[in-house]
Amino acid sequence: MLGKKSFFLIMLLGLMVVFAACGREDENTNQTSNDVENESVSQDEKVINFMHLWPEGSSRQHHMIVQEIVDEFENDHPGVTVEMEILGNEQYKEKLSVIGASNELPDVGMTWGGGFLDPYVSGNMFANLNDLVTDDFIPGTTDAYTVDDVVYSLPLELNITPVYYNKAIFDQYQLEVPETWDDFKAVVQTLVDHGVTPITLGNRDAWTGSMWYMYLADRIGGPSVLTDAINRDGSFEDPALIQAATEIQELVEMGAFINGFNGIGNDEAKGYFINEQAAMYLMATWDLPEWTTNEDNPQEFRDSVGYFKFPTVEGGAGDIDSYVGGPGVGLFVAEDSDVKEEAKAFVSYFVERWGEMSVINAGVIPATVVDTDGIDLPQMYIDILNDLNEATNLTLYADVQMSASAADVHLNQIQAIFGGEVTPEDFAARHEEALESEE
Amino acid sequence: MNKVMSNKWVIALYVLPSLLLLGGLVYIPIVLTGYYGLMSWDGIGEMTFIGLDNYSRLLQDSTFWLSARHSFLLALFSTLSLIAYLAISLILSARLKGSELLRKIYLIPMLLSSVAIAQLWIKIYDPNNGMLNSLLTFLGVENPPAWLADRSTVLIAIFIAIIWQYAGFYIIIYSAALKGIPYSLIEAARIDGATPFQIAYKIKIPLITGVIKVTIILAIVGSLKYFDLIYVMTGGGPNGASEVIASYMYKEAFGRYNFGYGSAIGFALLVLALLTTWLIQKLTASKDELQY
């Protein structure tokens, strides 16, 4: 049996080992951080923390361009290093809101426009980037990032949403590209009669279905009816918006959309289009590489993809050159960044180089003007860039225009209207409730 | 030795490290969550004190009660599934040929991450190309259900995936408990002419009631705060048909930037879980604990 004293001694020894280990660890970390400080003092090293959402695995080309631009920037700016943290899209979005809550934003990061910005702007977390806006931007692209005349982020991409279709399937049933809504419904009916799925739709994500609704609203009620309803100059009870919802339900009843669309995510839905199991797919131009340059998809399939503009509705107020779309992600600079000047320089450098490289190397349509002369692009890109020049209107995605909580109601209601759970009138009423409660 | 252990300082010395850890990581955040629940806060800007407004809103929030109903349904299902797990463990404990291998096979789902399991089941449930519907079509079923897309089937489809996910965990617990029963008892029963069913029902189960009670609590509390498969497989959709309390809390706090209200939901979840645990302990309490 151990005596009391010797027992204590042993316990003390044990504790000392534990604490000594902790202490050593602390010393170590102190030392490394000292090293970093010493270095930064001696070489005046500045570090820009940069968070982006294009991991190598899922966005290879984007990832490579970013890496290239960062390398160039570091070469041109001795004494500045850029440290990157890379997350996938959804994880990025979540991480940003979590670190935003604890005020630990990176110096430079990516954000979306519209309602997504609101909490960051009202929390005074993003820096004013007005002095970085140049004439190179396509007019209107910075609007989505502007609150009270202050630009908080510089856009990198611009997307519009055409309807992609499979030419092989259309040829097989002697179908013409529809230009009016009645033609479109006739195409759908023919495909349904032959047992072909007309449209693939990943409505688990709901913003996908929202684009169908937005287009119908535009074609029936004109370019401003939906935007007005969202910013309270109008109402969701507008007859045009009710009719748009009714048209959606009619399409669903015809069997236009793939079986089980409310449980399918967008990536799975795209898979149906790529497997040629569905004839049409409404999606933004960020998917252009899939139909042109992506070697993972069979050449035969890529050759058979075409696109058409969303058809017009007879008697409706919208025209065919009006698009649903808008800028995608943009770059922000954190307001309380320690290296704000360097971060701003990096952002404007990035935007400029991105505009030159992105369309050729990654097939991204940048938010800056692209000179199509003398560059070698797949024909579909040239066509889209030309369409973009002729665009009469660009309506920003509804869920981006709304505040986060109204967007949540909107997306749930989109699933409900597609699922036939609500009437078009109730659909409008729910939206009115959600938007009114915010006023 | 006993003398040392009765010294209050020594007791404190042993308890303190884990107490600090537990306090810092569990109890203080609980108190903070309750505190945030009294605030109107978007997670980033200023907090404003609004008293019990969040909680009174919660009581009238039909989405909250719907998701609470789904959570309790899940709790019910997981508890019922314990019967199946117990049956499997009893069969496995009967020293059958290959029962060791089977036990390892049942454990595999536990080794997969939740997201992998969710992706796997999404593929199985795919309405057009999925394994399940291909099989149903092959068997001649016309228009098989669209599982995750259909309000009426989405919950049960996810519950099955969850039950599959946790099978290994509970089977291991029951198997370990059953192994602890002295073989002499079973042998004696057999000599007295008891059938295998009687041995299971009259001897084995009563001897592991303690473990069974623990698993019931684990299953119910685990179900109430369940989040991961649901979040990945449906995100609570379509239109809230598979929303549970935890996914609703997450959506409010991180999706709609209502940190205050999200915290209130979190706190309500805690209260519900505590109440249910207390209730189960009351209901399952028995005076005489059986012993070998």
Q: Beta partners for A85?
A: A51
A254: part of which helix (H) or strand (E)?
helix A239-254
**Placement of tokens 């065919």 in the chain:** A320
| pLDDT given for residue A8 in this prediction | 57
Q: Between chains, do B256 and A405 touch, taking CB under 8 Å as contact?
A: yes
- Report the gap between the CA of B182 and the closest CA in chain A (Å): 33
B239 to A123: CB separation less than 8 angstroms, yes or no = no
**Over the stretch B82-132, which tens digit does the pLDDT of each residue have?**
999 999 999 888 777 888 888 888 888 888 899 999 999 999 999 888 899
Structure confidence at residue A100 (pLDDT):
83
DSSP 3-state assignment of A366?
Answer: strand
Q: What number of CA atoms fall less than 13 Å from residue A30's CA on the CB side? A: 6
Candidates A121, A125, A262, partner chain B, best to mutate (most B CBs within 10 A): A262
Is A120's CB within 8 Å of B44's CB? Answer: yes
Residues B85, B175: contact at Cβ < 8 Å?
A: no
Residue limits of CATH 3.40.190.10 in chain A: 47-157+328-370, 160-325+396-436
In angstroms, the CA A175 to CA A400 distance is: 35
Mind telling me how many Å the CA of A161 is from chain B's nearest CA? 24
Residue B291 has a pLDDT of: 61
Q: Kindly write down the DSSP assignment for every residue of B114-158, as one continuous string.
A: HHHHHHHHHHHH-TTT-HHHHHHHHTT-SS---GGGSHHHHHHHH
CA distance A120 to A214: 27
How far is B110 from chain A, CA to nearest CA, in Å?
A: 24
Chain B residues 124-153 with CB within 8 Å of chain A: 125-129, 146-151
Whole-number percent of chain B with pLDDT over 70: 96
Q: What is the pLDDT along chain A (439 residues), one digit of tens a residue?
A: 445 555 555 555 555 544 444 444 343 334 333 444 444 444 568 899 999 998 887 778 889 899 999 999 999 998 899 999 998 877 888 888 888 877 889 999 999 888 788 888 888 899 999 988 887 887 777 888 888 889 999 998 888 899 999 999 999 999 999 999 999 999 999 999 999 999 999 999 899 999 999 999 999 999 889 989 998 999 999 999 999 999 999 999 999 999 999 999 898 899 999 999 999 999 999 888 889 888 888 999 999 999 999 999 999 998 899 999 888 889 999 998 999 999 999 999 999 888 888 888 878 888 887 777 777 788 888 888 888 878 888 888 888 888 888 998 999 999 999 999 999 999 999 999 999 987 7
**Nearest chain A Cα to B46, which residue?**
A123
- What whole-number distance in Å separates Cα of residue B255 and Cα of residue A294? 33
- The β-bridge relationship of strands A154-155 and B48-49 is unpaired
Q: What is the CATH number of domain A160-325+396-436?
A: 3.40.190.10
Tokens of A278: 């569905």
CA dist B91 and A289 (Å) reads: 55
Domains of chain B: 61-284 (1.10.3720.10)
Question: Has residue B289 got a pLDDT over 80?
Answer: no
Question: ipTM of this predicted complex?
Answer: 0.81
**A309-324: b (≥16 Cβ within 10 Å) or e:** bbbbbeebbbebebbb
What residues of chain B lie within 8 A of the CB of A119, using their CB? 42-45, 257
| CB-based contact, A263 to chain B, within 8 Å | yes
CA-based nearest distance B150→chain A, Å: 7
What's the confidence (pLDDT) of residue B290? 60
| Residue with the two structure tokens 């915010």 | A438
B5 touches chain A (CB under 8 A): no
The predicted structure's pLDDT at residue A4? 57
Q: What pLDDT was estimated at residue A375?
A: 73
pLDDT, residue A366, reads 86
Helix B151-179 to helix B62-92 angle (10° resolution) is: 40
Chain B residue numbers with beta carbons less than 8 Å from the beta carbon of A197 are 128
Q: Please answer whether residues A126 and A344 qualify as being in contact, where contact means their C-beta atoms are separated by less than 8 angstroms.
A: no
For chain A positions 201-240, those within 8 Å of chain B (CB to CB) are 203-204, 206
Angle, helices B114-125 vs B151-179, to 10°: value is 130
Interface-testing mutation among A2, A18, A22, A97, with chain B (most B C-beta atoms within 10 A): A97
The pLDDT of residue A99 is: 87
Q: Are A322 and A161 in contact (CB under 8 A)?
A: no
pLDDT at A20: 45
Strands (E) located in A152-292:
154-155, 158-160, 163-166, 197-199, 278-282
Q: What is the CATH number of domain A47-157+328-370?
A: 3.40.190.10
Residue A204: which of B42, B44, B234 has the nearest Cβ? B234
